[in-house]
Amino acid sequence: MNETLVGLVSQYSPSGQEAAAVRWLVERMKALGYDQAFIDGAGNAVGVMGSGARQVVLLGHIDTVPGEIPVRVAEGVLHGRGAVDAKGALACFVDAAAGAGAPEGWQVVVIGAVGEERDSRGAYYAAERYRPEYAIIGEPNRWERVALGYKGTAWAQITTRRGQAHTAGGGKTACEAALEVWGAIRAFADAYNAGNPRVFDQVQPTLNHWDAGEGDFEQWARLKVGVRLPPALPPAAWYDRLEQVAGGVQVERLGQSITAWTCDKNTRLVRALLAGIRGAGGSPAFVYKTGTADLNIVAPVWGCPALVYGPGDSALDHTPDEKIDLGEYGQAVQVLASALGKLMQAGR
C-alpha cells in the first residue's frame, strides 16, 4: 500500500529538478497496470486507465520546495520533503486509480505536474490538452476534508523616487515615501477586511522585499508586494485599487496573476467524495484555503465539477518537519478509490 508514497518521496524533486521523480513515477504506474504511462511535452508524468470517451482527471504536482529531508519511516509516519506537499496526494491518486480502474466508457487520467511551486507550467500545459467531466486536484487537507476554494494571488513592484536634498531640509526621503505607500496598502486591507470576517474573503498583502539606493541626483526605494485575493476582488480590480492607494507612485505588475476559484458544492463529484469519507468511518468537512493551487489554473478552463483532495496536514507544508501518517494515507486511498467507483458507476 505504501510503496508508491515512499518511493515517490524518496525521489527528491524541487521545482526545476523533477525529471528523475517523473521517470520513477511513470515506471511505477506501468508496474501498477496502467494502460498508458508516459512523460508529456511539459515534463509531466501521466498515467491513463481505460480508453472511454468520458474522462476523470486527477491532477497532483510532483515538484516540491527546496530543502532535502532524510526519508525515513518511524512509528508509522513517513518523513521527507514532499510527504505532505504534495506527493501524499499524488501518490494517493496513483494508488486509488489503480485500485478503482476505469469501467467501460470511462478514462481516468493521473497527472504528476511539474512546476507548481514556481509557475505551474505543468498545469497550464494540461489545461489545454484535457477536457474532463470531473477533476480532482491534489493538495493536503486531511483525509476527512474536501477543499472547495483557493484564493488568488498577484505581485507588484512599487518604486518611489526623490531628488537628492540635504537631510537638514526636512524633505521626505524615497524610503519614507515607500513606507507611507505600504502603510496605505495595509490601511486599505484593514478597511476591506473589516466587513469580511472569514479569512478566505479577505485581502492579505505581504511585503516580500525592500530595496533602496541613490545616485548623484536621485534616491529611490523599491517594494515587492504580494497579495492573496478573495473571489470578490480579481487581480485586475486589485491592481486598479493598488494604483489608487499608491497615489501616483510607479506600480509595476509582476509575473502571472491568478484569480481565486470556488467550486460548486452541490455536484455528483462532491457527493461521491463525501460518501467515500463516510464509508471509511470519517466525518467529512469542507475547507476553503488561503493559498493558491493548480485548481485556480485548470478549473476555469475545464469548466467541470472540481474539488481538491489529499491526505496530510497542510500546516507542515514547506517546513523542515514535513511528514505524513501512513494510516491516514491508507484511509485517503480507500476514500478516493471508493469515490471514483461511485462516480463512474453512477454516471454510466
pLDDT along the chain (348 residues), means of 10: 95 98 98 98 98 96 97 97 97 97 96 96 97 98 97 96 60 88 96 96 96 81 97 97 93 95 97 97 96 96 98 95 97 97 80
**42 shares its domain with 74:** yes
**274 shares its domain with 309:** yes
CATH number, domain with residue 235 = 3.30.70.360
User: d(Cα 77, Cα 68) in Å, to the nearest integer?
Assistant: 17
Domain boundary among 258, 280, 314: 258
User: What number of residues does the chain have?
Assistant: 348
**30 shares its domain with 78:** yes
Cis-peptide, bond into residue 97, ω within 30° of zero: no
Q: Where are the alpha helices (DSSP H) in the chain?
A: 3-9, 19-31, 87-100, 121-127, 174-194, 235-246, 268-279, 295-302, 326-346
What does the pLDDT read at residue 214?
A: 80
What does the pLDDT read at residue 172?
A: 83
Q: How confident is the model over 127-136, as pLDDT tens digits?
A: 999 999 999 9
What does the pLDDT read at residue 44?
A: 98
Domain boundary among 227, 258, 289: 258
**158 shares its domain with 144:** no
Q: What is the grid cell recorded at 215?
A: 545616485
User: DSSP E strands: which ranges in 131-249?
Assistant: 134-138, 145-150, 152-163, 204-214, 218-229
CATH number, domain with residue 119 = 3.40.630.10
Domain boundary among 242, 258, 274: 258
What does the pLDDT read at residue 162?
A: 81
The answer to whether the predicted template modeling score (pTM) of the entire model surpasses 0.75 is yes
What does the pLDDT read at residue 347?
A: 57
- List the 152-163 sheet strands across, edge first: 204-214, 218-229, 152-163, 250-258
As annotated, the active-site residues are 63, 116
What does the pLDDT read at residue 165?
A: 57
Q: Rounded to 5 degrees, what are φ and ψ at 72?
A: -155, 155
**168 shares its domain with 144:** no
DSSP 197: -
**189 shares its domain with 318:** no
**123 shares its domain with 233:** no
C-alpha distances in angstroms, 202 versus 9, 80, 147, 152, 267?
34, 33, 18, 11, 26
Which of 215, 135, 212, 133 lies closest to 177, judged by CA? Answer: 212
**86 shares its domain with 102:** yes
**7 shares its domain with 121:** yes
Structural domain that includes position 250: 152-258
Q: Which residues pair with 210 in a beta bridge?
A: 223
**109 shares its domain with 205:** no
How many distinct structural domains can be found in the chain? 2
**25 shares its domain with 144:** yes
